[in-house]
Amino acid sequence: MLKLSKKAEYAFMATIYLASHSGNEYPTAKEIADNYKIPFQLVAKILQNLAKNNIVISFQGVKGGYKLNKNPDEISLIDIIKAVETNYKLTECMLEGGDTSNCTLVDCCKIRDPLVEIQRKIDIMFQETSLKQIL
Amino acid sequence: MLKLSKKAEYAFMATIYLASHSGNEYPTAKEIADNYKIPFQLVAKILQNLAKNNIVISFQGVKGGYKLNKNPDEISLIDIIKAVETNYKLTECMLEGGDTSNCTLVDCCKIRDPLVEIQRKIDIMFQETSLKQIL
DNA sequence: TTAAATAAGACTTAAATGGTCGGACATAAC
DNA sequence: GTTATGTCCGACCATTTAAGTCTTATTTAA
């Protein structure tokens, strides 16, 4: 409960690794997996997600690998999370099949789900923290 | 991911209900369940957990029910969460089987799991928010 | 042409969550 | 002292989500 997923964790690790290894050669998924001793396939997939969302750039082929697409201080943690997490929806109204007609949204949610406000705060926290801050 | 569990949500609802219905009679688990249209059995169990952790006081028997044990401004959200959530351990070192011998804890965790710091912040947020604030 | 890399989707397994059931105990009211 | 109405508590089941694996295709430097 309220725990960050491995996906997010690995995504942070990978981007942190890329941020601190910006040499001539591009770090590969395998290199990252080995370094942190985490499953290769999983990291690979996560990097693909990050690539799709323009957080990293991927290079295919023999000398391939990954590099960050922006500077670490320009990458918000929420970008990384959203790239990796399929159903990331903290702030959404949680009513399902509820009577939303007489629901002035925020107020309604506040009554039925007192946590929305808190989740919004967490959301903001991720938004306001950059990758650089956790290097 | 990072979503609050139903247990926590129901616990908040229940305590909020108790906070706003402190009349002569004690609200029952059934009353709360009906009011919010949430599963009775589940709310009952959650209230039991809250009772065990001295957040609410339970009264058995015919005229039984529950009431808050403290004022809403004296109850921290983290108390409620901890009472209800079995494995709530955000700040704990996440290493398992890792080499903890040369691990000066905080630093080691920071390297291997950059999220510890963030999770700590979330922790603090819950600690500093009282039940009264979400009424 | 080959070796080393990413891309991608299907699949399997494991764990957590949400919810249910049944029986025991407590007590106010009759 | 019996009954109705409540809490207490542990075991259980079902579903969903998360985590990890497998396989095949594609790209590209040497």
Judged by phi (left if over 0) then psi (alpha if -120 to 50, else beta), residue A2 lies in left
B90 touches chain A (CB under 8 A): yes
Give the span between the Cα atoms of B115 and B102, in whole angstroms.
Answer: 20
**Secondary structure element (H or E) that encloses residue A135, with its range:** none
Beta strands in chain B (DSSP E): 56-59, 65-68
Closest of A126, A43, A25 to residue B114, by C-alpha:
A126
Across all strands, nucleotide nearest B43 (CA–C1') = C19
Decide: helix, strand or coil at residue A20.
Answer: helix
**With the C-alpha atoms ordered A97, A99, A101, A106, is the resulting torsion angle positive or negative?**
negative
Q: Calculate the angstrom distance between C1' of C8 and CA of A46.
A: 12
Query: In this model, does residue B114 exceed pLDDT 70?
Result: no
Task: Return the residue of B nearest to A122 by Cα.
Answer: B122
Low-confidence winner among A107-111, A127-131, B69-73, B127-131 (lowest mean pLDDT): A107-111
**HEC readout, A62-118:** CCCEEEECCCHHHCEHHHHHHHHCCCCCCCCCCCCCCCCCCCCCHHHHHHHCCCHHH
Cβ–Cβ < 8 Å for B105, B95: no
Structural tokens at position B26: 């004690």
* B105 close to A (CB below 8 A): no
- The answer on pLDDT for B6 being more than 60 is yes
A5 touches strand C (CB under 7 A): no
Please list, in sequence order, all residues whose beta carbon lies within 8 angstroms of the beta carbon of residue B77, skipping any fewer than 6 positions away.
Answer: A118, B12, B126, B127, B129, B130, B131, B134
Of all nucleotides, the one whose C1′ comes closest to residue A26's CA is C5
Q: Residue B15: closest CA among chain A residues belongs to which residue?
A: A114
Contact list in A for residue B114 (CB cut-off 8 A) is 12-13, 16, 134
Spatial contact of B122 and B77, defined as CB atoms under 8 Å apart: no
What is the structure's pLDDT at B111? 55
What is the CB neighbour count within 10 angstroms for residue A90? Answer: 20
A2 interface with B at CB cutoff 8 Å: yes
What tens digit of pLDDT does each residue of B42-93 get? 999 999 999 999 999 999 999 999 999 999 999 999 999 999 987 776 544 4
Cα A92 to Cα A102: distance, rounded to the nearest angstrom: 17
Map tokens 């089987």 to a residue.
B97
In total, the C-beta contacts within 8 angstroms joining chain A to chain B are 84
Q: pLDDT-based confidence at B103, cuts 50/70/90?
A: very low
pLDDT digits (tens, 9 = 90+) for A71-117: 999 999 999 999 998 777 654 444 443 444 444 434 455 555 666 77
Q: How distant, in Å, are the alpha carbons of A9, A134, B119 from that of A76?
A: 14, 11, 16
